[in-house]
């Protein structure tokens, strides 16, 4: 019996969270990862070595790794000292080194995937260098993925520079053949939408017969989705792809402890609200569940999300 094909699109820590749960299943997994990051270690390597930013790719490789925890910890270890080394993660440097050895970013990812015994395939959305810029509602333009949330202005739209970058063919093929395509959780304008702006991705999504599911964040993100509801998130994505996209949306209905809410409130974040009737009026099936586990802050519950994914596949 053929395995269900699941594609997960995004970046940042949100993508890694859901993949940690999905890798425990027998699903045929593909992760398509944004390459617009320009901050920290990734930004430095991007500028100095003229390579794609490795940070989001690194997080996904570790999330899908089957090797022992010590190797995963090494991959994520960030140097604290040393001129030129401080701030860099071992994984980022390994990706950079493997690219020099193989001569190709995608081949480097494939080689490290074998080292880490990665479950599934990991593809950058594009192999071309991308810069993200945002047009704010006040008309100003902010350049750079890392600078957009810092502007503390409402975002109207984000763009890629150059605007004609093409998707990796393997990523397009994975989308077209997928049974289920997941978006999020993660940063709306800097992790999810940039993937959809790469030429070929939107067209592949429209061509794919797979179910498209949006997994909502539990809390808003200061400087990016202030006061956004689930409907606002979906509307922003539809605005960028110029068409309705989603068949299902997963939302949190679990009560959040008051002390946790206060911590988020102090940082300018609030729970992402939703209106079930408004979503259903758009033809979107709403799946409600307690999506988080409690830590010092909230973290998406990878295994609860995995159960939702498996239940959705059974219903296809």
Tell me the CATH number at 171: 3.40.50.10680
282 and 135 fall within a common domain:
yes
Shared-domain flag, residues 187 and 277: yes
Q: Count the alpha carbons within 13 Å of 91 in the hemisphere toward its beta carbon.
A: 27
Residues in the chain: 316
Identify the three-state secondary structure at position 21: helix
Show the tokens assigned to 154. 């409402």
Calpha distance 187→13 (Å, rounded): 9
- Looking at residue 157, its pLDDT comes to 97
pTM, to two decimals? 0.94
Q: How many domains does the chain have?
A: 2
Both 212 and 75 in one domain: the answer is no
**Which of 124, 148, 180 lies at the terminal end of a domain, its last residue?**
124
- Position 122 scores a pLDDT of 97
Residue with tokens 């820590």: 13
Q: Which domain holds residue 256?
A: 1-34+127-316
What distance lies between CA 200 and its chain's CA centroid? 18
181 shares a domain with 64: no
CA separation, residue 28 to residues 31, 65, 121 (Å): 10, 15, 9
Q: Is 46 exposed, middle or buried (0-12, 13-18, 19+ CB in 10 A)?
A: buried
Q: What is the separation of C-alpha 95 from the centre of its chain, rounded to a whole number of angstroms? A: 19
Residues 3 and 54 in one domain: no
What does the pLDDT read at residue 1? Answer: 57
Residues 222 and 150 in one domain: yes
Tell me, what's the pLDDT at 40? 75
End residue of a domain, out of 104, 124, 144: 124
Residues 160 and 241 in one domain: yes
Same domain, 214 and 99: no
| Whether residues 308 and 188 fall in one domain | yes
Clarify whether residues 146 and 203 are in a common domain. yes
CA distances from 183 to 63, 101, 107 (A): 16, 33, 25
Residues ≥6 apart with Cβ < 8 Å to 148? 132, 134, 142, 155, 158, 189, 190, 223, 224
Distance CA(180)–CA(146), nearest Å, equals: 30
- Bridge partners of 122, per DSSP, are 31
Domain boundary among 81, 105, 124: 124
Same domain, 291 and 203: yes
Q: Are 137 and 253 members of one domain?
A: yes
- φ, ψ of residue 232 to 5 degrees: the values are -65, -40
Q: Which residues of the chain have pLDDT under 50?
A: none
């Amino acid at each position: 019996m053929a395995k269900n094909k699941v594609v997960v699109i995004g970046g940042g820590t949100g993508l890694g969270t859901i993949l940690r749960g999905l890798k425990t299943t027998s699903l045929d997994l593909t992760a398509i990862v944004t390459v617009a990051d320009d901050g920290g270690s990734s930004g430095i390597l991007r500028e100095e070595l003229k390579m794609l930013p490795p940070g989001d790719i690194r997080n996904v490789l570790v999330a899908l790794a089957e090797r022992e925890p010590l190797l995963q910890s090494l991959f994520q270890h960030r140097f604290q000292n040393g001129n030129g080394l401080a701030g860099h993660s071992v994984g980022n440097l390994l990706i950079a080194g493997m690219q020099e050895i193989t001569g190709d970013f995608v081949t480097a990812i494939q080689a490290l995937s074998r080292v880490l015994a990665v479950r599934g395939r990991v593809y950058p959305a594009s192999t071309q260098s991308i810069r993200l810029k945002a047009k704010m509602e006040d008309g100003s333009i902010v350049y750079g993925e890392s600078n957009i949330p810092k502007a503390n202005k409402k975002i109207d739209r984000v763009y890629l520079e150059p605007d004609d970058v093409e998707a990796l063919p393997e990523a397009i093929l994975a989308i077209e053949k997928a049974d289920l395509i997941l978006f999020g959780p993660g940063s709306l304008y800097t992790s999810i939408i940039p993937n959809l702006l790469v030429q070929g991705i939107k067209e592949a999504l429209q061509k794919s017969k797979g179910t498209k599911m949006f997994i909502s964040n539990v809390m808003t993100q200061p400087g990016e989705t202030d006061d956004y509801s689930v409907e606002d998130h979906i509307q922003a994505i539809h605005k960028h792809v110029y068409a309705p996209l989603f068949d299902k949306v997963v939302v949190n209905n679990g009560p959040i402890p008051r002390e946790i809410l206060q911590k988020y409130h102090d940082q300018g974040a609030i729970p992402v609200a939703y209106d079930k009737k408004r979503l259903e009026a758009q033809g979107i099936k709403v799946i409600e569940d307690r999506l988080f586990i409690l830590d010092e802050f909230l973290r998406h519950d990878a295994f609860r999300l995995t159960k939702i994914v498996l239940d959705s596949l059974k219903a296809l």
